[in-house]
Amino acid sequence: MIRRTRAARSALGALGALCVWAGGCRPDLGERDSLVEAPRILAVRGEPAEARPGDTVTYTALVASPDGSAITTLRWATCVTPKPLAEPSIVAAACLGDDGVEPGSDPGDAGDVATLALPADACSLFGPEPPPGGYRPRDPDPTGGYYVPIRASLGAPGTSDTRGADAAFQLERVGCSLGDAPVELARTFARTYVANLNPASPSVVLSREGAVVAEGGAVARAAALEIAVAWRAEDAETYVYFDRPSQTLTTKREWMRVSWFASAGSFAVDHAGADERAEGDGATTLSNAWMAPVSAGPVHFWVVLRDARGGVAWTTRELEVQ
């Protein structure tokens, strides 16, 4: 998922592909990405996680706020503008404004859940088929996938809510043909490839010196905790992959990546796990260290799990610092 703020608009073009999986992109201004100091979108989950052009997908946004309150006023839109080769960003600059998108039309699209249809020509706009306007066909990502950018913005349509300056793009994986593969190989791929599924919500355990801290439990100020995240082995799926250099079909296993967020305190790392440079190693757990703040009060946690092909899941927790 790609995040942007007003301050980040000019910097968006310099951000790399890792931002898709890192839980949000913004310029390095010295702040920790894991610290939630204002309302923001941490993740967007599409169901199904992979769809065909023209299919209807239901999106749910994970919106965090420092006090843990639910914020459900969002604007939704589907990017329908291919990215010019001259633009280094992942999403076309036109999709940051209104000209490059199709806004959600359902009245429910003003909430944290929206139902949107993928463009019928998605494989032309964002995939291997020849696109309109002189663009060249897109290159697949390291898993062989193509993606339609879905935009979610804080703030309701027609309001002056300044939170609307904060938006996120979820890249919805879209099923396209191989395009440049031999005919028989392409047929085999179409027959054997299984679309991606979202992982299940991960389990999250907070502990202090080996003792589990219950949901809503209390810890001392400046205490050091371990946050362990676990997911099912089957959430890291094996999938068919077209290896272009050898012109053969092979299999890969998804890697998994975890992003941690909290309303106070600090993590040892903001994100952990593999990325698009690696294949899954079969691991089903990741741990992180968190230091409680020196001030008392409730602390809210959000843990986001992503797989290599764009699947998303999350879990929330809360405790009291005394």
Same domain, 172 and 223: no
> What are the pLDDT digits (tens) for 192-237?
999 999 999 999 999 999 999 999 999 999 999 999 999 999 999 9
Structure tokens at 206: 């907070």
Structure tokens at 223: 């205490």
Cα separation, 81 vs 64, whole angstroms: 29
Q: If you search the block for the tokens 């100091």, which residue do you land on?
A: 37
Same domain, 167 and 211: no
Residue-number span of the structural domain to which 73 is assigned: 2-176
Residues ≥6 apart with Cβ < 8 Å to 299: 262, 263, 264, 265, 292, 293, 318, 319, 320, 321
Cα separation, 74 vs 155, whole angstroms: 5
- Would residue 195 count as lying in a domain? no
Residues linked to residue 318 through DSSP beta bridges, in sequence order: 300
Q: Residue 316's closest CA among 76, 70, 86?
A: 70
Confidence at residue 52, expressed as pLDDT on a 0 to 100 scale: 97
Same domain, 100 and 64: yes
Taking residues 285-313, what's their average pLDDT? Answer: 97
Q: Name the percent of the chain in helix, strand, coil, to the closest 5.
A: 15, 40, 50
Q: Pick the last residue of a domain from 176, 193, 224.
A: 176
- Would residue 49 count as lying in a domain? yes
Same domain, 21 and 153: yes
CA 175-2-276 angle, to 5 degrees, is 60
Q: Is the backbone peptide bond immediately before 48 cis, with ω within 30 degrees of 0?
A: yes
Cα separation, 80 vs 55, whole angstroms: 15
Phi, psi of 214 (to 5 degrees): -65, 155
- Would residue 186 count as lying in a domain? no
Same domain, 127 and 8: yes
Same domain, 258 and 166: no
Cα separation, 215 vs 319, whole angstroms: 6
Q: What is the pTM of this model?
A: 0.87
Confidence at residue 26, expressed as pLDDT on a 0 to 100 scale: 35
Same domain, 171 and 226: no
Same domain, 169 and 307: no
Distance of CA 286 to the CA centre of its chain: 18
> What are the pLDDT digits (tens) for 235-282?
999 999 999 999 999 999 999 999 999 999 999 999 998 765 566 678
Same domain, 143 and 237: no
Same domain, 47 and 89: yes
> What are the pLDDT digits (tens) for 63-102?
999 998 877 788 899 999 988 878 888 899 999 888 889 8
Q: Pick the last residue of a domain from 141, 158, 176.
A: 176
- Would residue 68 count as lying in a domain? yes
- Would residue 310 count as lying in a domain? yes
Helices (H) and strands (E) in the chain, counts: 2, 21
Residues ≥6 apart with Cβ < 8 Å to 244: 180
Residue-averaged pLDDT of the chain: 84
Same domain, 44 and 166: yes
**Count of domains forming the chain:** 2
Q: If you search the block for the tokens 């997911």, which residue do you land on?
A: 231
Burial 5-33 (b: 16+ CB within 10 A, else e): beebeebbeebeeebbbbbbbbeeeeeeb
Same domain, 158 and 226: no
- Would residue 191 count as lying in a domain? no
Cα separation, 229 vs 303, whole angstroms: 8
Confidence at residue 269, expressed as pLDDT on a 0 to 100 scale: 96
Alpha-carbon distances of 42 from 24, 71, 251, 312, rounded to whole Å? 7, 12, 31, 11
Listed as own residue / partner, the contacts of 29-32 with beta carbons closer than 8 Å and 24 or more positions apart are 32/266, 32/267, 32/270
- Would residue 196 count as lying in a domain? no
Cα separation, 43 vs 50, whole angstroms: 16
Q: Are 310 and 256 in contact (CB under 8 A)?
A: no
Strands 167-174 and 50-51: parallel
- Would residue 182 count as lying in a domain? no
- Domain with residue 275: its CATH number is 2.60.40.2410
Confidence at residue 292, expressed as pLDDT on a 0 to 100 scale: 97
* Comparison of pLDDT for 210 and 162, the residue scoring more: 210
> What are the pLDDT digits (tens) for 122-156?
999 999 988 777 677 888 999 999 999 999 988 65
